[in-house]
């Protein structure tokens, strides 16, 4: 029962099978190498795009910072204009009062015919 089993193969056929298997493996390796090369190219393109996006974001941050400065400036200017606007009414009232006072002082000096 413990006798070894012997299988007879023709060496030439066995070697042909091994060669075919090696060719199949080489073919698969070539395909994988091409895929890896494609991935490397893709990664390089992605890195370039990321770099460009980072530059764009940096530019946008600077633009936003400038816009905030402009907004602050214009807000201050508008506040100053509102302050001047609130002074216009008292100035007009003062001028009107002065003119009316002058007019009333001149009325008694107007000769009646």
> Each residue of 32-82: pLDDT tens digit?
999 999 999 999 999 999 999 999 999 999 999 999 999 888 888 877 777
**pTM summary value:** 0.49
Residue 47 lies in a domain: yes
Q: For the CA atoms of the chain, what is the radius of gyration?
A: 48
Residue 45 lies in a domain: yes
Q: Which domain holds residue 98?
A: 11-107
Residue 16 lies in a domain: yes
Residue 98 lies in a domain: yes
Residue 1 lies in a domain: no
Residue 113 lies in a domain: no
Residue 101 lies in a domain: yes
Q: Give the pLDDT confidence of 93-108 residue by residue, as tens digits.
A: 889 899 888 877 777 6
Q: Name the domain count of the chain.
A: 1
Q: Which residues contact 63 (CB under 8 A, 6 or more apart)?
A: none
Residue 5 lies in a domain: no
d(CA 91, CA 13): 115
């Amino acid at each position: 029962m413990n006798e070894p089993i012997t299988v007879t193969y023709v060496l030439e056929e066995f070697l042909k099978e091994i060669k075919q298997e090696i060719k199949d493996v080489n073919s698969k390796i070539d395909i994988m190498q091409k895929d890896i090369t494609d991935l490397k190219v893709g990664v390089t393109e992605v890195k370039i795009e990321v770099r460009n996006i980072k530059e764009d974001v940096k530019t946008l941050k600077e633009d936003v910072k400038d816009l905030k400065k402009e907004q602050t400036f214009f807000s201050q200017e508008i506040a100053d204009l509102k302050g001047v606007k609130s002074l216009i009414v008292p100035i007009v009232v003062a001028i009107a009062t002065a003119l009316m006072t002058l007019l009333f002082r001149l009325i008694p000096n107007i000769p009646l015919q």
